[in-house]
Structure 1
């Protein structure tokens, strides 16, 4: 089937048509603006916002305008103050406006497709809420899409607009449920050129690990593992300790066919010995995700109120918002603060927030910042008695295991510490993790743990790893040197590229506004079999321009620098440049 219906972000050439179509529709057809001799309507947000264009062959059909929150201004600011419409102050709010279709195409799927494209683009940039201005006579169309009136109308010329809003997740579910058949048909017909997948993942969570699809999830082409640089997940670059390999190789036939200890007793005993913890405070899991799902589903309900760090590890938002349906707030980490966790500011929020659960990842993924244990301990000790704290220490070994709050978790029933052996001990494929809690909490979680939660190979590997701390401490030290090497190589590619080192086995790179988006760069790197992680869906704080890169060995790092250089220079779909306009140009006609 020929895919002649195209969706793309606007090019320079598209802008001329957009300005002309605006004039025809909003000046002549609707009377919103006074016609002008130039026959074009410009907009005060031109060059800063994004336009998505629908076209059939060389014929442009329609467009929609998207304004992100990092501009700190919206078209609605001309009509309503932040006091009159407080949602305009929300930090992850995107404005959708000027949905415009050429007259002859208005009875087609062009308008719904543009609205769907806007929703996908916003979700890909971490947007969580949309505000829109919809003409009152078209209100049924917007209601059918899931948008709801907020009780405000604005008037511009002869046109009255209803102010509408909706949550991105709720709009996505409504769209998928209501228009599934149409979307499946359009997917086969559309030449989708936006830097976001046509449809979200089936589970709605933006996990990493796309690199394994390049290797082959059917396991028929595992030789590809030698060709792919998998830096989109934070697996260790180094092999597990020699004792781990010996334990797995000793009698693989017996290891494969034998049921493991029912409750991973040997693993827990070794963990208790290595960290000087009471065994009754430990709960085993098949990776930290297993423990997160199991504990949160037990503790939380849709009425629970949860506080997450933003940016933060996406699994927590997925479980609390999409699986359980909790009321989730976000504590914003700020680039201008170096992504540092301000414990004083967090203390004030928790004290007044009446939260059931606060999640802190330390070191934080993806920002890579570590908060000293003494500061977190003081914060938690002073927090309300009703608030439970979940502290994720999956990467703490890269800092110092003495910074763990596991000792506090043993004595304070409000605190649970979760730690994985996957990333720090090169055991991601084994899926072995544990949490530390006050003994009564630990006992309750163990009662709800199915038998044999951790496989025998994973238990053997984890015990052997814990018995060789010297080997891993050396690997962690070498990781820091490799990370600095990678950071230097990337920073030297373009002075406008911002490289931020983490304290663990990754770094982040923010791309300049004149370069490709994070999604485009990630896609370009995949052509070289280099897989990086686009952080855009995790938080709008990244503005669609930041990637996370896991540290590899020296050869892998060199391949990533080379692929990154090629990706920066690769041709990409043209986007209209910022064109400064004078105040008199605005006055000649701007759309509302």
Structure 2
């Protein structure tokens, strides 16, 4: 994307970027024939005046148009198709890059001749990058014509050392990481993109610009309420099912403790090391005090611990799908080398012990992260199974076990006891989700005494606020209340699943063990992002899982369990949204560029 090239075109609001409609396809086939058969001589001219290939119908086209005039297009081939355009020219052995799980191919970027000196091509390249990132893509591959190599290099793509000849043309095979390409684009072309973001009619189903920190979370529901806290009355209108906060209030003792003297709590410094909270955790969980470290939520502990243990040379194994904070910290903050254990839908998203054992047995990992129950799949791996895997694993490999949702299964399934004696094992537990304390930000970590002590030395004073300490202590003193709420959650989840499953025969609802479930839309129907956006118009907020993993194929949303009345609103909103998004129901509205797609919370 050259500055001079972008500057030549005064882009107006009438320039639109969208996914191709059926009406666009005939123009795409005709333009491909004009350019690649007649103008460039890559293909033999066809009497039909149309040029198609074997990926048509499965790949995705993004189109730029000015009013009724189509300007250009780019083709995207997602990894779930299992084949790429490059397969016609090279084998997987010759180009192992094609075997990567999260690889998207960008193809046939084509612009009408009269528009080639405008912003159309760079804008389509940027649109392709945003579409890929929104589907969990981590790497792209492209064939760039040698005559246009400068443009691709300016965008951050790099040659892999392989050229391809097709007809009269020579192409360079190029690749780049999505996060790195996004970072470079936002840095190098920030001014231009800011202008385009306000001027272009962006009709794709993701926001024009990525989050500044690059980490995708739920939490847009609070943005709808108002992060300036001036519209808190809106909280009664919003169904916040995009974050996994508890549907129930904290225990009566928690509410009483917080109400007793809030003015004193606000002005008073808490115990420096949260000593009372640590003692209460130790008593409630039968753990030695010296094995505990507390923090302001699990993210605080993740950043603090990983920043101490890992370097860019460290190698980490994550599950995929998995909680996005781990990929963000390891890949984007620290810069570790990260591999992924792919959980499979056909296996019910469960961890295959044999596959995990084989991966870890190589001895190349410094850290393995297991979220149990997993977020976002909700699946639980039995403690005995994990204990056996850890026992057999190499001594150099550290295990981080995230048990934020374990209360919805059974607290006796915790590996905290193992963590107190095995220096390779650390267990992290959030008190936010299970104890209805998300706003308090309280969590703890269990490790053998030396590891815990080193982390405490890196912990600033007053890591947990006084209200949070008081609330967490009161919560831990009322296990009966929470056991009842966790049990009731299973009933509510089943009712919500039944309501959502009845919406459409093509909808797949996957219910697991925690306080959430997932809904997958049928292929050929609306994307998850479209459903999420349409539900937001009805003040119901769901979580699009697409950025977390390519395995969701842009079609799966996660829904937090709420109370009966809000669950009924969720079902009604989804039903209305699906009806509005059916073909023939009217034009799909774009995701407004000002609507946030991320915020705080899991």
The TM-score with structure 2 as length reference comes to: 0.95
SS at match of 1:549: strand
Is it true that 1:512 corresponds to 2:522 in the alignment?
yes
The Cα of 1:175 is off from its aligned counterpart by 1.0
Mapped partners of 1:574, 1:71: distance in 2 = 27
Residue in 2 that maps onto 1:243: 253
Mapped partners of 1:510, 1:171: distance in 2 = 29
Please tell me whether the aligned partners of residues 103 and 141 of structure 2 are also in contact (alpha carbons under 8 angstroms): yes
The TM-score with structure 1 as length reference comes to: 0.96
SS at match of 2:235: helix
Please tell me whether the aligned partners of residues 92 and 99 of structure 2 are also in contact (alpha carbons under 8 angstroms): yes
Mapped partners of 2:356, 2:345: distance in 1 = 16
CA, structure 1 residues 353+151, in 2 after alignment: closer, same or farther (shift >3 Å)? farther
Residue 268 of structure 1, aligned match among 278, 282, 286: 278
Taking the TM superposition and a 5 Å limit, the aligned residue runs for 1:137-152 are 137-152=147-162
Mapped partners of 1:224, 1:490: distance in 2 = 25
Residue in 2 that maps onto 1:389: 399
Residue 535 of structure 2, aligned match among 496, 509, 525: 525
Q: Any idea what the Cα deviations from partners look like across 1:527-556, whole Å, max 9, x if unmatched? A: 000000000000001000000000000000
SS at match of 1:570: helix
Please tell me whether the aligned partners of residues 515 and 568 of structure 1 are also in contact (alpha carbons under 8 angstroms): no
The Cα of 1:572 is off from its aligned counterpart by 6.8
Residue in 2 that maps onto 1:303: 313
SS at match of 1:256: helix
Residue in 1 that maps onto 2:3: none
SS at match of 1:427: coil
Mapped partners of 2:353, 2:246: distance in 1 = 30
Mapped partners of 2:396, 2:12: distance in 1 = 59
Mapped partners of 1:313, 1:571: distance in 2 = 29
Mapped partners of 1:571, 1:272: distance in 2 = 52
Taking the TM superposition and a 5 Å limit, the aligned residue runs for 1:496-507 are 496-507=506-517
Cα-Cα RMSD: 1.1
Is it true that 1:541 corresponds to 2:555 in the alignment?
no
Residue in 2 that maps onto 1:578: none
Residue in 2 that maps onto 1:124: 134
Please tell me whether the aligned partners of residues 158 and 176 of structure 2 are also in contact (alpha carbons under 8 angstroms): yes
Please tell me whether the aligned partners of residues 391 and 417 of structure 1 are also in contact (alpha carbons under 8 angstroms): yes
Is it true that 1:252 corresponds to 2:262 in the alignment?
yes
Residue in 1 that maps onto 2:387: 377
Mapped partners of 1:572, 1:41: distance in 2 = 30
Mapped partners of 2:167, 2:572: distance in 1 = 54
Taking the TM superposition and a 5 Å limit, the aligned residue runs for 1:313-462 are 313-462=323-472
CA, structure 1 residues 572+204, in 2 after alignment: closer, same or farther (shift >3 Å)? farther
Residue in 2 that maps onto 1:277: 287
Gaps of 5+ in 2: 1-10, 586-602
Please tell me whether the aligned partners of residues 292 and 447 of structure 2 are also in contact (alpha carbons under 8 angstroms): yes
Mapped partners of 2:188, 2:583: distance in 1 = 32
Is it true that 1:13 corresponds to 2:20 in the alignment?
no
Taking the TM superposition and a 5 Å limit, the aligned residue runs for 1:456-471 are 456-471=466-481
Q: Any idea what the Cα deviations from partners look like across 1:102-127, whole Å, max 9, x if unmatched? A: 00110111101000000000000000
SS at match of 1:253: helix
Mapped partners of 1:183, 1:138: distance in 2 = 21
Mapped partners of 2:48, 2:575: distance in 1 = 43
Mapped partners of 1:406, 1:433: distance in 2 = 14
Residue in 1 that maps onto 2:118: 108
SS at match of 2:106: strand
**Count of matched residue pairs:** 575
Mapped partners of 1:310, 1:325: distance in 2 = 18
Residue 183 of structure 1, aligned match among 189, 193, 196: 193
Residue in 2 that maps onto 1:584: none
Residue in 1 that maps onto 2:578: 568
Mapped partners of 1:285, 1:318: distance in 2 = 19
Q: Any idea what the Cα deviations from partners look like across 1:284-337, whole Å, max 9, x if unmatched? A: 100000000000001111111111000000000000011111111111000111
The Cα of 1:2 is off from its aligned counterpart by 5.3
The Cα of 1:189 is off from its aligned counterpart by 1.3
Please tell me whether the aligned partners of residues 542 and 557 of structure 2 are also in contact (alpha carbons under 8 angstroms): yes
Q: Any idea what the Cα deviations from partners look like across 1:391-425, whole Å, max 9, x if unmatched? A: 00000000000000000000000100000100000
Residue in 1 that maps onto 2:304: 294
The Cα of 1:514 is off from its aligned counterpart by 2.6
SS at match of 1:474: helix
Residue in 1 that maps onto 2:588: none
Please tell me whether the aligned partners of residues 526 and 581 of structure 2 are also in contact (alpha carbons under 8 angstroms): no
Mapped partners of 1:215, 1:177: distance in 2 = 31
Runs of 4+ with >3 A deviation: 571-575
The Cα of 1:571 is off from its aligned counterpart by 3.6
Residue 213 of structure 2, aligned match among 200, 203, 208: 203
Please tell me whether the aligned partners of residues 242 and 560 of structure 2 are also in contact (alpha carbons under 8 angstroms): yes
Mapped partners of 1:574, 1:104: distance in 2 = 33
Taking the TM superposition and a 5 Å limit, the aligned residue runs for 1:62-141 are 62-141=72-151
CA, structure 1 residues 163+2, in 2 after alignment: closer, same or farther (shift >3 Å)? closer
Residue in 2 that maps onto 1:582: none
